[in-house]
Amino acid sequence: MLTVVTPAYNETRNLPLLYEQLKKVLDDPALGIEWEWIVVDDHSKDGTFELMAGIAAQDPRVRSARFSRNFGSHAAITYGLNHARGDCAVTMAADLQDPPDLIPTLLAEWKKGAHIVWASRSNREGESFSTLLFARLYYDLTSKIEGLKNRPRTGVDFCLLDRCVIDAFAQMHESHVSIISLIAWMGFRQTTVLYNKQARRFGKSHVNFEKKLLLALDTITAFTYAPIRMMSYAGFVIAFLGFCYAAFIILRALVGSPPEGWASLIVTVLVMGGIQMVMMGILGEYLWRTLDEVRSRPRYIIESATDKPGSWSSVNQPVTASAANAPASGQETLT
Ligand code: UDP
Ligand code: MG
């Protein structure tokens, strides 16, 4: 059985088309599988949940839940994976940029023994130059981090995960993390399938530059301490240079011509001040994430769901809006 997980934010125009395409591809007798579709409404303003509830009422394979506020697509995918009943799961955006036609290819790789099958875009249609440049920079920079080397360099938007990966993922309770990077970091047997990423069908992308920057910072702070280590190295180098400069001034004073004026002083103060502030900023990035993780707030809160709360999974019970303030008895019940 295959579970398809779709995060959705204001996608009423795309979801009916995606549903039709999924049925066409997955109901094919040649594929011979059972399937379910979980659509997680990330607090849309356009009636996405009502639309999905209507589809779910007619098709028992379809389920949907609505978040109490916008928690982001990664939280929505996390919810879907935590409630998947399949032997494997495919995550897939609602906007038809991730083509359902590719699912049989992903399944074929899974049947050959892969635990994680990345669908990586060999080409992206309808994207701006700055989007492509930022994506290139992000992947090139973060691919150097140990543990993320398996992730395809051309970028990932969706993937197929085996049950063992879904179960391992359910034990991760971080919120400040790109789930693609987290899954890559887990290891297992990973393979990649290339595809042509289409332009978005209706509406425009919800991922602005600020969200992309936050994701890049999350990936860096979640998987490497290199920036903190670089701060220590920079501190040593600057201290050494300062020591050399001091020696130089003393030497000049001894030979009777000490350097004059405050220009050199103010340059040193400004450069040092700037470097120290950047270093404190880097520490701050790690520190506030630590504080936020220690608070252990749920990664999402459910406002309503098409199934009765608790009936989706015996382990991961959805938190309903009314239960959200109840004392936490453990991470499992919070997610
Ligand atoms: N999405 C979401 N919450 C958000 C933003 C996006 O659930 O706050 C969903 C969106 O509906 C889509 C998927 O995440 O199904 C990918 O989003 P989008 O197409 O905007 O991103 P892009 O393709 O530009 O990376
Ligand atoms: Mg998209």
Contact between 41 and 51 (Cβ < 8 Å): no
Rounded mean pLDDT, 274-290: 88
190-197/35-41 β-pairing: unpaired
What's the pTM value of the predicted model, to 2 decimals? 0.79
Please work out whether the CB of residue 198 comes within 6 Å of at least one atom of ligand 1: no
**Torsional class of 275: left (φ above 0), alpha (ψ -120 to 50), beta (otherwise):** alpha
Q: What are phi and psi of 110, to 5 degrees?
A: -65, -45
Q: How many CB atoms lie within 10 A of CB 304?
A: 16
Please work out whether the CB of residue 154 comes within 6 Å of at least one atom of ligand 1: no
What length does the chain have? 335
Contact between 186 and 165 (Cβ < 8 Å): yes
- Cα(190) to centroid of ligand 1, in Å? 24
Ligand 1 pocket: which of 124, 206, 210, 212 to mutate (most atoms <8 Å of CB)? 206
| pLDDT of 234 | 87
Please work out whether the CB of residue 93 comes within 6 Å of at least one atom of ligand 1: yes
Instruction: Choose from 19-33, 112-126, 225-239 the range with maximum mean pLDDT.
Output: 19-33
Please work out whether the CB of residue 212 comes within 6 Å of at least one atom of ligand 1: no
- Cα(93) to centroid of ligand 2, in Å? 6
Please work out whether the CB of residue 5 comes within 6 Å of at least one atom of ligand 1: no
CA angle 302, 305, 307 (to 5 degrees): 135
Who wins on pLDDT, 79 or 228?
79
Q: What is the pLDDT of residues 143-179, one digit of tens each?
A: 778 778 778 877 788 899 999 999 999 999 888 888 8
What number does the ligand 1 atom closest to the CA of 204 have? 20
What number does the ligand 1 atom closest to the CA of 10 have? 11
d(CA 83, CA 63): 10
**What is the identity of the amino acid at 82?**
N
Q: What is the pLDDT of residues 66-121, one digit of tens each?
A: 999 999 999 999 999 999 999 999 999 998 888 899 999 999 999 999 999 999 88
Please work out whether the CB of residue 8 comes within 6 Å of at least one atom of ligand 1: yes
Token representation of residue 62:
């379809």
- Cα(111) to centroid of ligand 1, in Å? 29
Ligand 1 pocket: which of 22, 37, 73 to mutate (most atoms <8 Å of CB)? 73
| pLDDT of 37 | 97
